């Protein structure tokens, strides 16, 4: 069982991205082909299935978090490509494992402080016990009292996978 709460793209944000992305481009849905199959969806945090109606959109998770909290990430504000469903998908259902937890895959675990500035990070090669590996990486990140949130990204392309926020007292 995972110890940390994983946050996908929020439902309200998904509805906005299904109209226009964070770069201002209109959403351009298409039907997933074999080449898309298995890529991560950020709305429901599962792999794309062949034939699903999806869209590749530009997403700025730190910018959206900063707007909600009053933080100013400055130059750390970035946006990048993510896949989402082009229609309502029902969202993310938490499970026993962290999303996209394929042993051997490389992830960056990037830490941010309350201002939205990068406060360190680490490379994680997902071990055979992926849940324990992610838990240890998040424990390490949140042992720094300045860290308020973590972004997990793919190493190969830098794509945002999901967010984890500092647990409130009693949640860990």
pLDDT tens for 82-104 read 999 999 998 999 988 999 999 99
Q: What angle do CA 10, 125, 109 make, to 5 degrees?
A: 40
**Domain spans, the chain:** 6-85, 106-165
Position of tokens 């299904």?
Answer: 18
- pTM (two decimals): 0.92
CA distance 143 to 161: 22
133 in helix, strand or coil? helix
Nearest to 48 by CA among 100, 104, 107: 100
| pLDDT at position 158 | 83
DSSP per-residue letters across 10-71? -HHHHHHHTTB-TTSPBP--EE--TTTTTPEETTTTEEPPTT-EEEEEEE-HHHHHHHHHT-
Mean pLDDT, residues 115-138: 97
Q: Is the dihedral of CA 26, 31, 35, 40 positive or negative?
A: positive
């Amino acid at each position: 069982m995972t110890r940390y709460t994983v946050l996908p793209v929020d439902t309200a944000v998904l509805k906005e991205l299904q109209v226009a992305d964070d770069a201002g481009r209109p959403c351009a849905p298409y039907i997933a082909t074999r080449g898309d199959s298995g890529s991560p969806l950020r709305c429901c945090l599962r792999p794309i299935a062949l034939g699903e109606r999806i869209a590749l959109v530009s997403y700025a998770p730190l910018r959206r978090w900063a707007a909600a909290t009053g933080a100013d990430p400055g130059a750390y504000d970035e946006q990048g490509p993510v896949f989402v469903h082009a229609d309502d998908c029902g969202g993310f259902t938490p499970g026993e494992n962290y999303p996209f937890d394929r042993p051997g895959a490389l992830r960056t675990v990037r830490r941010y402080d309350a201002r939205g500035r990068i406060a360190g990070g680490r490379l994680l090669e997902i071990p055979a016990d992926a849940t324990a590996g992610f838990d240890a990486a998040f424990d390490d990140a949140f042992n720094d009292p300045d860290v308020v949130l973590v972004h997990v990204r793919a190493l190969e392309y830098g794509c945002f996978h999901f967010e984890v926020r500092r647990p409130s007292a009693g949640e860990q």
